Amino acid sequence: MTKKENHYVDNAKFFDEMCDWKEKVNEAKNMGEDMPPVTEYIGECFLKISEKLSHRPNFVNYPYREEMVLDGIENCLMYAHNFDPEKSKNPFAYFTQMIYYAFLRRIEREKKQSYIKFKLMEENDDGSFSKWFKENFFDKDAHQEEKEVEEYFSLSKSDLDKFSGKDKKKSKKKTKDANSDNK
């Protein structure tokens, strides 16, 4: 006697539900009506997948984990109509991938926001914040400070360039214009 595996989402049932819902979506589209809402079972699957994925080691310790879960569910609801049963028989993998990338986008947005908050506090500082921050989070060597800020906020050079992209584009344009004027 073989033991049936106990998964938190039954992929076969999920696929059947998605096929039924997709037929309703196609009928509504042909009749010019609004798209019908997903079924309760499909919504539960989105929630289970998103919640379970958020407990993986690479996502579990983020303080905004709940927002990540909500972003994943939102993306699934927004783009569920794009699932094509003729191309794939695995909605679990399709939506897991969608949720995974929603998590990455949330992490990127939160990184940017925390860096912006840090920079605003640094700019409006009377000296007490920077003193406290440096004493508690950085070595005393000022040369290492910029590198340590990047590490503290888990930022790469490309992240910093993206965050300050407007200023760099303007300065590059000014440099290019100045070079063309000199010729």
Given a cut of 70, the residues of the chain with pLDDT beneath it are 1-6, 129-131, 133-154, 160, 162-183
pLDDT in tens, 21-38: 999 999 999 999 999 999
Q: Is the dihedral of CA 117, 120, 122, 124 positive or negative?
A: negative
**Which pLDDT value is given to residue 76?**
96
Is 163 exposed, middle or buried (CB count within 10 Å of its CB: 0-12, 13-18, 19+)?
A: middle
State if pTM tops 0.95.
Answer: no
Instruction: Say if residues 107 and 62 touch (Cβ distance below 8 Å).
Output: yes
Q: At what angle do helices 91-123 and 128-137 cross, to 10 degrees?
A: 130
